[in-house]
Amino acid sequence: MTASHGWMLSLGVFVLPSLSVPVDVSSPFLGINYGDLMAKSIGEGCTQNITQTPDEQTRDGFLARLATDDAPACLTTSMALTVVKEEGFRHLKVFEEKLGLDESFFSPLDAGDLVLTRVSEVFRDADDAAHVWLQLPNGFLKHIRDNSSYAHDIIALIKEHDDIVDVVILGNEPFLFPEAAKDEFLPAYGVFKEAASQAQLDAHLTTVLANSVIQNTFPSIDAAEMVPSYLELLEPFLTDLRASSSPVMVNIFPWFAFSGAPVEVGLPYALGYRDPPIEVDGRNYTFIWDAQYDAVVTALDKAGFGDLPLVIGETSWPSDGDNPVYVNKTTAHIHYASVKKRVLMDIGTPKYPGRQIPVFYFIAFDRMNATSYGFPPVEQYLGLHSEEGVAKFDIGSVAEWGEGDEQVIPHMPNNSLAI
């Protein structure tokens, strides 16, 4: 079967069988993105060989060492994941970038190099079980499309960690350009899905939709809809997600909306404490994040897919890399608290009150190599921690909303650009 026939069949008659492990989106959760390839000082490739002592198996142990003259030049993947674990994160969206470094794409892949292997080791206790959403880079798609053996190799590695992998995410915003989605993502999805079915992989499959698939989001949220040219491509894929009870994902970054129009948006609205609120379609909004979320759900609903579970794959606010009035640890903390409140308090959004919203915060650690990959400077500083593993602010409980969290969000009329 050719790749092209494979995806056409997959999106027509063939669908994934009922999965024995339902994906965990019935309750909201605050998860974290983790990937170490773009962090110059995190990962098994660190040039300095670091040996952990028993006292350094906990976050406090790491922080104690970081305060000494013997501070490590880099963190191993296991050390970094231990920091994340000790802070209470159990839902991890893992970027498995190292698989794509095999230039042949067909030679045996080494499971020992995978972040997934380290997650299994660090979260090995039943009480600390991890829920992994494994994300494969866009660069994988054409290789999966062109040779199903590559898909089978990846799935074989994933099956070694069947107990922790809930979802496999194929690419990041592969629908950014219609032709690329048609030529790469959809064929690759069909090939990968068929290979997953043959291997009886329990994990669900999905991807992250780009904001470009939605139009007419301003000034009326109720007018939001899917772009027709995208909907034509997306409809069979979204139908497939429904058939397999799989979620759909989007990324929401208020920073980019604010940085593009700082005066019009205003910092309080971008961070979640605008007072008085902005009235849109008869509903009051204090946080542009809510408006962005509501626009996505509205567009999905109009297309007939409003029932699909929606998970936020990435959201963050930089702590450096731009105007320090807007970009600092305080603004990053306020954004984190505002998002956390929506996840843990079940308040939903103005248009969809009470709706449960699972979120993966972006990202666990700063990525000081991000600019070398073509990203703007702020992309280096989106982490909850520095590359050395030190938290930028009090993250608090990732399972409960507390009084300390509430105090982070300003509660006063303040609609100027500065805090």
Q: What percent of the chain has pLDDT above 70?
A: 79
In a domain, 413, yes or no: no
CA distance 405 to 394: 9
In a domain, 19, yes or no: no
Mean pLDDT, residues 18-36: 74
Mean pLDDT, residues 338-355: 95
pLDDT confidence of residue 396: 94
The whole-chain average pLDDT of the chain stands at: 85
Q: Which of 73-87, 354-368, 374-388 has the lowest mean pLDDT?
A: 73-87
CA distance 71 to 83: 15
Contacts of 288 (CB under 8 A, 6+ apart): 254, 257, 258, 265, 269, 270
Contacts of 72 (CB under 8 A, 6+ apart): 48, 50, 65, 66, 79, 388
CA distances for 70 relative to 50, 102, 163, 281, 360, angstroms? 11, 35, 37, 57, 33
Q: Which of 275-284, 348-357, 385-394 has the lowest mean pLDDT?
A: 385-394
CATH code (residue 65): 3.20.20.80
Q: Please classify residue 82 by burial: count the beta carbons closer than 10 Å to its beta carbon, then call 0-12 exposed, 13-18 middle and 19+ buried.
A: buried
In a domain, 75, yes or no: yes
19 band by pLDDT with thresholds 50, 70 and 90: very low
In a domain, 65, yes or no: yes
CA distance 123 to 90: 9
Mean pLDDT, residues 12-25: 47
Q: Which of 7-21, 36-50, 220-234, 274-288 has the lowest mean pLDDT?
A: 7-21
For the stretch 357-366, pLDDT in tens is: 999 999 999 9
In a domain, 102, yes or no: yes
* Cβ atoms within 10 Å, residue 332: 23
Enclosing H/E stretch for 248: strand 248-251
Ranges of beta strands (E only) in 74-173 are 91-95, 131-136, 165-170
- Helix segments in 244-374, DSSP class H: 254-260, 262-265, 267-271, 288-302, 329-344
Contacts of 87 (CB under 8 A, 6+ apart): 59, 391, 395, 398
In a domain, 417, yes or no: no
For the stretch 264-314, pLDDT in tens is: 999 999 999 999 999 999 999 999 999 999 999 999 999 999 999 999 999
**Token pair 């400077």 is at which residue?**
377
Residue 37 has pLDDT above 70, yes or no: no
Contacts of 160 (CB under 8 A, 6+ apart): 111
413 band by pLDDT with thresholds 50, 70 and 90: low
Residue 8 has pLDDT above 50, yes or no: no
- Write out the two tokens for 367: 């990525």
CB 188 within 8 A of CB 4: no
Overall number of domains in the chain: 1
CB 308 within 8 A of CB 249: no
Contacts of 232 (CB under 8 A, 6+ apart): none
In a domain, 20, yes or no: no
Q: Given strand 310-314, what is the order of strands in its sheet?
A: 204-206, 165-170, 131-136, 91-95, 30-34, 359-361, 310-314, 248-251, 208-209
Residue of 73, 81, 166, 64 lying closest to 117 (CA atoms): 81
The domain in which residue 383 lies consists of: 3-14+27-408
Q: Which residue pairs from 178-185 have beta carbons closer than 8 angstroms and sit at least 24 positions apart in sequence?
A: 178/229, 178/230, 178/233, 181/230, 181/233, 182/233, 184/138, 184/141, 184/142, 184/145, 185/141
Q: What percent of the chain has pLDDT above 90?
A: 65
**Token pair 């005066």 is at which residue?**
263
CB 393 within 8 A of CB 332: yes
In a domain, 415, yes or no: no
Q: Please classify residue 352 by burial: count the beta carbons closer than 10 Å to its beta carbon, then call 0-12 exposed, 13-18 middle and 19+ buried.
A: middle
Strand, coil or helix: 133: strand
DSSP string, 149-201: HHHHHHHHHHHTTTTTEEEEEESSSGGGSHHHIIIIIHHHHHHHHHHHHHTT-
CA distance 367 to 384: 11
Enclosing H/E stretch for 215: strand 214-215
Strands 283-285 and 278-280: antiparallel
CA distances for 241 relative to 157, 296, 335, angstroms? 23, 16, 31
DSSP string, 388-411: TS-BSS----SS---HHHHHHS--
